[in-house]
Amino acid sequence: MLNQENKMTDFAEQIRIGLDEALDQDPKLILMGLGVTDPKGIFGTTLGLPQKYGRERVLETPTSENAVTGIGVGLAVTGHKTVMVHQRLDFFLLAMDQLVNSAAKWHYMYGGQQSVPITIRLITGRGWGQGPTHSQNLHSWFTHIPGLKVVMPAFAHEAKELLRLSIDDPNPVLFLEDRWCHVQKAELSDVITRGSIQLGQAEILVPGDSLTVVAAGFAAVESLRAVSFLKERGINVELINLRTLKPLDTATIFSSVKKTGRILVVDSGAEIASFASEVVSQVSRNCFDSLTSAPQIICAPDVPEPTSHGVTEEFKFGAADIAKKIIEMTESNIKADWTILNNVPHDAPNSTYMGPF
């Protein structure tokens, strides 16, 4: 007898199911982007959808990131919710005018009369030599623009519901998918059901009392490995998976810091004006009396990411770096075999991955 509870799924499949459900439930919803109908189907996340919903609703677009974003705005303000997707966030930089001057401001600027229900899926490259222009983590930029929402799922069990919530939302939502999150797995029985979470709600992924770790996206995946590793060795830190960067669930962060007295923010973006800096700023301004040590961040260096796999291992932080930082901050004294945390390839999501993209 098949045990339904042990059936596995992964993040990419959950995205595809979420899109399928959304297209099925809203006959006016449009899904468009370069590659949504191609044989690879955006890393499998759109496979089968053009056949099921037609090539007008699942629309292959020209290589025109800026206009396509504006066309999405035009569709949305006239009654067609739109999901757009870019296989690398970096290409979406060509669309900053439509994102910032149109999508983000339309509702406010025209007196609150027209909302812009668009969801923009941006896939972040990681590893395998993606290099300076294929692996940028620019989520912090997007949070700086009034009128945008920024969602950053980490795990397979939350991916679908966070996507559905983003599509349901009447505002422009940037939905950031780290390429390596796509291979995260979950048991089907653990998949979050409709209506049980909201945008703007963080999750206490691991409860603990000696330090608060805050992370989102793949940084949360790596933080979970570090925190679990330390928990097995008697160090109990709390891990908050943000899920949404904007609006930010400051209540959950503040209440955790008031309990632990310490905060470490782990962020895949470059350190200057990073989202981690924003979290530290808010915690410092609101929980100063509770802090027993200086807040810390782990970010990418303020350097474009090099391509060579000869240097990327040192360049990128990993679970071991997070664990070591936690040990330093909690003044713990353990001897650990770090090779356990370093047993995954530094530049691939798993040992079978052979690229190319």
Partner 1 sequence: MTTTTNTLLKYYTLAQKIRIVEERIAAEYSKGEMRCPVHLSIGQEVVSAAVGMAQETSDTAVSSHRAHAHYLAKDGDLYRMIAEIFGRVTGCCKGRGGSMHLVDLSVGFLGSSAIVGNSIPVGVGAGFTHKLDKSGQLAFTFFGDGATEEGAFYESVNFAVVNKIPVVFLCENNLYSVYTDLTPRQPASRKIHEMAAAMGLTSFEINSLDPIVCLQETLAHVLWARENQVPIFLEYKTYRWLEHCGPNNDDGLEYRPNGELKAWKLQDPLRALRESLVANYSVTVSELDAIDSAITTEVNLVFEKVRTDPFPTLNESMQDVYA
Site residues (vs partner 1, CB under 8 A): 28, 30, 56, 59, 61-62, 64, 66-80, 94, 97-98, 101-102, 106-117, 146-147, 149, 170-171
Q: How many C-alpha atoms does 189 have within 13 Å on its Cβ side?
A: 5
Q: How far is the CB of 104 from partner 1 (least distance, A)?
A: 9
Note whether 201 and 153 are within 8 A (CB). Answer: no
Residue 147 or residue 306: which is nearer to partner 1 going by CB?
147
b/e 278-310 (16+ beta carbons within 10 angstroms → b):
bbbeebeeebeebbeeebbbbbbeeeebebeee
Q: Is 134 a catalytic residue?
A: yes
Percentages (nearest 5) of helix, strand, coil residues in the chain = 40, 15, 45
- Give min distance, CB of 134 to partner 1, in A: 21
Unique residue bearing structure tokens 């009369």: 113
Among the listed residues 13, 86, 107, 134, the single catalytic one is 134
Nearest-approach distance from CB 68 to partner 1, in angstroms: 7
56 is catalytic: no
Q: CB nearer to partner 1: give 199 or 297.
A: 199
Sequence-ordered list of residues with C-beta below 8 angstroms from that of 50, at least 6 positions apart, any chain: 36, 37, 58, 60
Of 65, 158, 203, 305, which residue is the catalytic one?
A: 65
- Reported as type and span, the H/E element at residue 252 is helix 250-260
Smallest gap from residue 212 Cβ to partner 1 (A): 28
Burial 193-231 (b: 16+ CB within 10 A, else e): eeeebebbebbebbebebbbbbbbbbbbbbbbbbbebbe
CB of 109 to partner 1, least distance (A): 5
The residue (of 68 and 83) whose beta carbon lies closer to partner 1 is 68
Count of Cβ atoms closer than 10 Å to residue 259 Cβ: 14
Looking at the Cβ atoms of 116 and 341, the one nearer to partner 1 is: 116
End-to-end CA distance of the chain: 38
71/65 Cα distance (integer angstroms):
10
**Longest distance between any two alpha carbons in the chain, whole Å:** 61
* Comparison of 146 and 355: residue with beta carbon closer to partner 1: 146
Nearer to partner 1, 117 or 269 (CB): 117
Q: What is the DSSP string of 14-25?
A: HHHHHHHHHHHH
Q: Which is nearer to partner 1, 110 or 357 (CB)?
A: 110
CB atoms inside a 10 Å sphere around CB 131: 16
> Smallest gap, in angstroms, from Cβ of residue 238 to partner 1?
29
Q: What is the distance between the alpha carbons of residues 203 and 256, in angstroms, rounded to a whole number?
A: 11
Q: Closest approach of Cβ 36 to partner 1, in Å? A: 14
Q: List active site positions.
A: 65, 134
